[in-house]
Structure 1
Amino acid sequence: MKAIFTIIFILFLSFAAQAQNATYEVKVETIEMTIVTETTNELNLGSKTDVARLYKFKNSKIKKELNFITKENKPKMA
């Protein structure tokens, strides 16, 4: 009896799902844009004044901070 009600319930739900009219037409406003075919690349090398620094000494502050060693990297005595 339970199986019969289950089958009838499933059939009822499937027919109800197919009977719905879900055909809505959505109108979308489109925007026309033109294609740009010309591109200009401008390169100005005269105004850059970047400075690269070379640290000669082994104990400089930057090198110490970049080469730090954590406690986990140190060997442990077993």
Structure 2
Amino acid sequence: MKTIITIIFIIFLSFTTQAQNTTEEVKVETIEMTLVTETTYELTLEAKTEVARLYKSKNSRIKRDLNFVTKANSAKIA
């Protein structure tokens, strides 16, 4: 009985959706745009002065950061 009522309900819904008039034509305004075929590129060269930092020893900051010591690395007295 339940399946028969379900089938009738589905058929009823399909008929009601087909009965709606949704064939209205919607007019859209179009915009005409011209194509640009010519492009120009400008290149400006500016002299930039950059400052380089000097260290006493090579890779001093890298060596200092890699040689860190934690509390877990220290020896424990038994």
> Do they fold alike, i.e. is TM over 0.5?
yes
> Aligned residue pairs: how many?
66
Q: Deviations over 1:42-73 (max 9, x none)?
A: 1121xx242322111169xxxx6xxx78xxxx
Structure 1 CA distance for aligned equivalents of residues 56 and 34 of structure 2: 59
* Same amino acid, percent of matched pairs: 57
Q: Post-superposition, which runs of at least 4 consecutive aligned residues in structure 1 deviate over 6 A?
A: none
2:76 equivalent in structure 1: none
How high is the TM-score relative to the length of structure 1? 0.62
Larger radius of gyration: 2
1:16 equivalent in structure 2: 16
Q: Mean Cα displacement is larger for which, 25-34 or 50-59?
A: 50-59
Q: Alignment RMSD, CA only?
A: 3.1
Counterpart residue identity of residue 33, structure 1: M
Give unpaired runs (5+ residues) of structure 1. none
Structure 2 CA distance for aligned equivalents of residues 12 and 33 of structure 1: 49
Q: Does 1:30 align with 2:12?
A: no
Give unpaired runs (5+ residues) of structure 2. 74-78
How high is the TM-score relative to the length of structure 2? 0.62
